Structure 1
Amino acid sequence: MMRQCTRPCRSFHIAGISALDLATTNTTIKCSGILNLSRTRGIVPIYRRQCHPESRGRRGYAVQTGFGQPTFETRPHILKEGELTPGISALEYHFRRHKLIEQLPVGAAAILVGNELKYRSGAVFYEFHQNPDFFYLSGFNEPRAVMVIEKPFENDYTFHLYVQPKDERKELWEGPRTGVDGALEMFNADEAGDIKFIRKYLDDIIARAQSIYMDIAPGNSEIASFFHPHVRRGTMEVNILELIKHHKKETTPRPLTRIVQSLRAVKSEAELKVMQKAGKISGRAITRAYGRRFAKEADLNAYLDYAFRIGGCEKSAYVPVVAGGKNALGIHYTRNDDILNDGEMVLIDAGGQYGGYCADISRAWPVNGKFTEPQKDLYHAVLNVQKECIKLATTSNSLESIHRSSVDLFAVELRNIGFDTSLSEINSILYPHYVGHHLGLDVHDCPEQPRRQNLKSGNVITIEPGIYVPVDNPKFPKHFRGIGIRIEDNVYIHDDSPIVTSGEAAKEIKDVEDACAAAWKDI
């Protein structure tokens, strides 16, 4: 079988352009050579890519018409030419894989297992969400897939992608699958195969590998029974650890997640643009929500999800917090089913997802559009702390040092408005959460990154100080009790000049009140 090759060519001497030039410019050289999709290994089919050097430099297009996710040919309103996912090109995914193998020794094989579809009840399933490490390295967004990246030589890798095959009967019910040919054609795998033969494929790979990098992920399917030794057995004869032991490798694979997350934590220019778009759409939706009157938390919740989607996001990035009045004292209150009362504030923590990347924004405003004096004083205290912490979001500081500063700043701000409280009470009662976290493909992105490590240029973090005054604690001024305020922005670390990507969400008191007074007629 022959296919046009759309992969970004990995030759380091194409037209005199070096690997360094490719990595540091916007060059989009692609190999449009013919793919020789040869089948080997007898009864176990495997498909390999063979690119003809003389045809490199021309851009190929998809021959297959049905894929399990958007392509430029099938969804040009979502993807631009050359992109695998919104804003991220096939070439960038290649460079991500190349950066990973730079962290691995020659002879290593990195194995990543994609997520599976999860079911609520019977045949009713949850919306699929891919393993973010898997998505980061491939852009592949379908369930039941396994990726292997081998490093046979220095500065080179072999990309294997094992997926569900095309199945006319199942696709009639579930929609198109990308299939094995599509894994080669669109996702630039060097070798692809049917996921049901994964044990046999990995048998060969593990046998020749000198070291294995993989993180065991729990699950309850046949595939999971192979990759997780504590899950009940399916039809797989052995699990992955037994296979590794059989070939006399390390008994336990070396951890991979920490390495991948160190790459994910530093965003590229393309990722920044995607996150800026997610932040812009989400911030604009939140500002427009100020000008509408909602009777219930559920109404505001529904509006935000609608506004994120109609503005261009794929969906909400996570289950939002929409907390009226004292409900805002619950940091992650998500029932969102109460009444919004005149004279109280509403706190929201919400954001849209675009291209797989999350926005994460918190704002609080008066339900009737006008701050009372106590609300204004407490809001101003939180806003002052938040703005000072954003200034500290540089490569000279860590999340840990910014958090310590936020506590000290709150001690001053709260004292100025009449609180008589200790640092211990601030930490344990009034401000019990951390100042922020990394943000990206996950809302709480890259949790393996140490909080005490200085921030790096390219990190994206949240800055989200908040104050939550208990209803029934006489220690605190009565007129502040029952008020919860959190102000959260998304911040791109760029040396000593942090860039806020969620600035479309108004937060100055005058701007909030003006937006509340505006009669927005559209999204």
Structure 2
Amino acid sequence: MKHTLMPVGEFAARRAKVLAQMQDNSIAFFSANSEVTRSNDTEYLFCQDKGFYYLTGFNEPDAVLMLVKSDSCHSVLFCLAKDPLAEVWHGRRVGAENAQKDYQFDQAFELAQLEDIAIEHLANKCAVYYCRGHQKAFDTQLMHWLAQVKGQSRQGIKAPQSLIDVQPLLNELRLIKSSAEIDIMRQVNQISGKAHQRAMKKTHGGVFEYQIEAELLHEFARHGARHAAYNSIVAGGENATILHYTDNCDPLADGELLLIDAGGELAGYAADITRTFPINGRFTEQQKALYQLVLDAQEQCINAIKPGQTLAKLNELCIEILTQGLIDLGILNGQLTELIADGACKKYFIHGLGHWLGLDVHDVGDYQVENRKQLRAFEPGMVLTIEPGLYFAKDDLDVEEQWRGIGIRIEDNVLVTDQGHENLTTNAPKSIQEIEQLMNK
């Protein structure tokens, strides 16, 4: 299935934005990921460093991007050399010549030339930008190059005096999505919504969690998202009270709920969707009451999203709705204001309300946290998740037995727009009526 993917010119434009914010007479380095051994001589499927990918679109291991800002600005890629024997065994390589042409770099060289060219360009620069601490092996390599430059001081060559972490600059760029990025994120949400529909249709008592996980992966790939954006959570019954449960090994029991937190990845961009539904297709009255409470909180928080809003304010709204709902159900006892002040509902709403979303599932970007409150004002182009939940441990004797072992989370992906917001998660059923209708066709 064909999808609209990122135009190569967008990657070049991003590099230009980084160069524009760099100091005069400076240089920046960004390193690709290396392959990671899974067992003996086999590797995990390669996943590119997302910061490197954001600036290059280049999806081979061990490459390095160099941005130079001096009399002129230019971009240089270093990548693995073309090697017919290696390519027979391990697959085709782009090569420097094709990389320069196809990815719009000003120059491209084989990786073997990196050290000599890097040392040459570091000479007499004022500042070096790099992702400090992000990849320790590359940090060590860069320090070695700088030592080589310092060793040339008797020849009148000066080493850079400033070492600057480029990640805050890059993270701010990644936080605001372009129209091309938003288009891809709409697509991956549609694909992921179809996967959640498929999972609902295939679920019944007696199947194993991993079998439902397989249905999700099948639907992702069938529509062009070959990989999951993260390890899928398929948690039946009390497993749903484990926030990051990924064992996915238990059979599903009739009468319990199934929580699925799963999203596909398309062109590097993630969806992150959670749905909770009855394994037999019918909510019990207790399940329905808790589910509707979480859904009400989620929908009211989504409806409040607009430029200038904050996660801190949305979290306050969510806490108020959940606390009042838990009072109404007899799970909490006391005055609303006092229970909110005491954080009573946080025993059951354990995690945060949401996070940035993009190339990473928990995407980069400053939340401007103060006293544990996320005060960053929303701007058009930001994408975030909204995911309230309630979790009651199987052994929690503070609640009646009818609530124990139930975990519910509902999560959508939301774009901040000029006018307010756009919910990208439009085709994954979440109302009680929608879920029961789909599961009982």
Secondary structure at 1:136 match in 2: helix
Q: Distance in 2 between matches of 1:186 and 1:328?
A: 46
Aligned partner of 2:62 among 144, 157, 178: 144
Counterpart code for 2:147 = E
Counterpart code for 1:336 = N
Q: Quote the residue 2:422 is aligned against.
A: 499
Q: Distance in 1 between matches of 2:329 and 2:12?
A: 54
Q: Quote the residue 1:41 is aligned against.
A: none
Q: Distance in 1 between matches of 2:242 and 2:180?
A: 36
Q: Quote the residue 1:228 is aligned against.
A: 139
Deviates more, 1:358-367 or 1:181-190: 181-190
Shift of the 97–419 alpha-carbon distance from structure 1 to 2, 3 Å rule, reads same
Structure 2 matches for 1:126-205, cutoff 5 A? Answer: 126-153=44-71, 157-205=73-121
Secondary structure at 2:104 match in 1: coil
Q: Quote the residue 2:403 is aligned against.
A: 480
Secondary structure at 2:300 match in 1: helix
The answer to whether the Cα contact below 8 Å between 1:88 and 1:271 also exists between their aligned partners in 2 is yes
Aligned partner of 1:121 among 27, 34, 39: 39
Query: Equivalent pairs: percent with the same residue?
Result: 33
Deviation of 1:428 (Å): 4.0
The answer to whether the Cα contact below 8 Å between 2:125 and 2:158 also exists between their aligned partners in 1 is no
Q: Quote the residue 2:228 is aligned against.
A: 316
Q: Quote the residue 2:385 is aligned against.
A: 462
Shift of the 412–245 alpha-carbon distance from structure 1 to 2, 3 Å rule, reads farther
Q: Distance in 2 between matches of 1:437 and 1:161?
A: 32
Question: Structure 1, unaligned stretches of length 5 or more?
Answer: 1-76, 80-85, 230-235, 519-523
The answer to whether the Cα contact below 8 Å between 2:198 and 2:215 also exists between their aligned partners in 1 is no
The answer to whether the Cα contact below 8 Å between 1:347 and 1:485 also exists between their aligned partners in 2 is yes
Q: Quote the residue 1:267 is aligned against.
A: 177
The question of 1:351 aligning with 2:263 is answered yes
Q: Distance in 2 between matches of 1:171 and 1:325?
A: 47
Structure 2 matches for 1:329-408, cutoff 5 A? Answer: 329-408=241-320
Deviation of 1:392 (Å): 2.2
Deviates more, 1:301-310 or 1:195-204: 195-204
Shift of the 457–243 alpha-carbon distance from structure 1 to 2, 3 Å rule, reads farther
**Which of structures 1 and 2 has the larger relative contact order (alpha carbons within 8 angstroms, sep 6+)?**
2
Deviation of 1:284 (Å): 1.6
Q: Quote the residue 1:100 is aligned against.
A: 18
Q: Distance in 1 between matches of 2:234 and 2:125?
A: 50
TM-score (norm 2): 0.91
Q: Quote the residue 1:74 is aligned against.
A: none
Number of positions where the alignment pairs a residue of Structure 1 with one of Structure 2: 423
The question of 1:514 aligning with 2:437 is answered yes
Q: Quote the residue 2:214 is aligned against.
A: 302
Deviation of 1:108 (Å): 2.1
Shift of the 116–427 alpha-carbon distance from structure 1 to 2, 3 Å rule, reads farther
TM-score (norm 1): 0.77
Deviates more, 1:311-320 or 1:423-432: 423-432
Q: Distance in 2 between matches of 1:281 and 1:331?
A: 24
Deviation of 1:189 (Å): 1.3
Deviation of 1:251 (Å): 5.7
Q: Distance in 2 between matches of 1:283 and 1:303?
A: 13
Deviation of 1:88 (Å): 1.1
Query: CA-to-partner distance for each residue in 1:152-180, whole Å, 9 max, x for gaps?
Result: 25xx6201000000001100100100011
Task: Determine which structure has the larger helix proportion and give its number.
Answer: 2
The answer to whether the Cα contact below 8 Å between 1:314 and 1:355 also exists between their aligned partners in 2 is no
Deviation of 1:213 (Å): 0.6
Q: Distance in 1 between matches of 2:277 and 2:249?
A: 18
Q: Quote the residue 1:489 is aligned against.
A: 412
Deviation of 1:345 (Å): 0.2
Secondary structure at 1:228 match in 2: helix
Secondary structure at 2:384 match in 1: strand
